[in-house]
Structure 1
Amino acid sequence: MHRILLDLIPFNQTHTAINQSETIIELLKEMTIGHKILGIMTDNASNMIAMGRILKDKINDKFNNQNLQHFCCGAHVLNIIVEEGIKLISKEISKAREFSIKL
């Protein structure tokens, strides 16, 4: 299995699920690989989740490819969990910082 970055594309449109999925479909057409694509990884933003659903349908329709899987980035999910955890203990962190300064 190979992992390849297909392209970096300037994206000057609004970042809606439809605009993003159409841009990806055009790239897949241009590279003639729509029938080979197995997965796409994004963050958990609502527009990206919606884009994954739209893209799955479009790839099935345009390239007869029913294999596309949409994955959410594990590092992004972990980052969100850590940020939320830090919010829960922010008072304790502040107290520990103040205490360490006094030492």
Structure 2
Amino acid sequence: MVKLLKNFELTKKPFFLTTDNASNMWTMARDLESTLGEEVFSAANNHIPCISHIINLVVQAAIVGGLKA
């Protein structure tokens, strides 16, 4: 991924990373930050969890919780 970003000179422009909430995505974001530097990519500020995935998890929890009641 870093090679691709550098080939297209995307490290010179602000960019964000949108992912699901899997822990390996947070690991990738932190690794990207350490490779490119925090001034290019900040895992805390430039990694955005997908809101659709979050809503899906909330709805599934509500359905399962409602069925148990």
Q: Any gaps of 5 or more consecutive residues in structure 2?
A: none
Alignment of 1:75-86 (within 5 A): 75-86=52-63
Match of 1:65 among 37, 40, 48: 40
Greater relative CO (CA pairs within 8 A, separation 6+): 2
Identity between Structure 1 and Structure 2 (%): 31
Deviations 1:43-87 (CA, angstroms, capped at 9, x unpaired): 1001001111111221217xx525561110111111111111111
Structure showing greater Rg: 1
User: What is the number of residues matched between the two proteins?
Assistant: 67
Q: TM-score, structure 2 length as denominator?
A: 0.79
* TM-score normalised according to structure 1 size: 0.56
